[in-house]
Amino acid sequence: MTDRADKPVRVAKTVSASQAEMLQLVLPSDANTLGNVLGGVVMHHMDIVAAIAAQRHAGYACVTASVDQIDFLHPAVVGDVLVLKSSVNFAGRSSMEVGVRCAAENPRTGRRRHTASAYFTFVALDEEGAPVGVPRLKAETPDELRRYAKAQHRRTERLSQRSVYDGSSDTETQNDDNGDAS
């Protein structure tokens, strides 16, 4: 598999060109015994809306490379509508950071509660599955510029954390009987 991330990158795209919004009704099958949506269901929908923004920006299929911590702030309950919004915060050579915010909307009152937020990293892949270059990101508004600067900082942190893990190869990693990789 050849890395094609070094190919010339297309013209920069604005943040607004790739933003995505998704609505999802919380059904009983999405909830726990208390009637609150399961965290895994929220994460699934966050991943989807983030992938849409990444693919709009890249113009290629994108895969999830990592997810920073997801903070669950308020529960969504059966009957609520999840309102998920995503936007690309930073674009590197072949990867992008996408910020996602999930709110729970009461359909009777219209009131929204911030439910969860997270940062996803995606890698763009060509038709053969090789990483491919993505357009630069053109941040225009003060909020976009602030998000871009913070995303650059998070990227530096992720890369330094990854170098810590690069000290041992996957072939050296073994699973113990409890499923703990060490």
Taking the model in full, what pTM does it have?
Answer: 0.84
Nearest 10 degrees: Cα torsion 128, 133, 138, 142: 90
Per-residue pLDDT tens over the stretch 25-56: 999 999 999 999 999 999 999 999 999 999 99
Pairing of strands 112-125, 95-105: antiparallel
CATH 3.50.50.60 fits 13-166, yes or no: no
- Determine the Cα–Cα distance for residues 23 and 148; give it in Å rounded to an integer: 26
Per-residue pLDDT tens over the stretch 136-147: 999 999 999 999
Q: Where are the domains of the chain?
A: 13-166
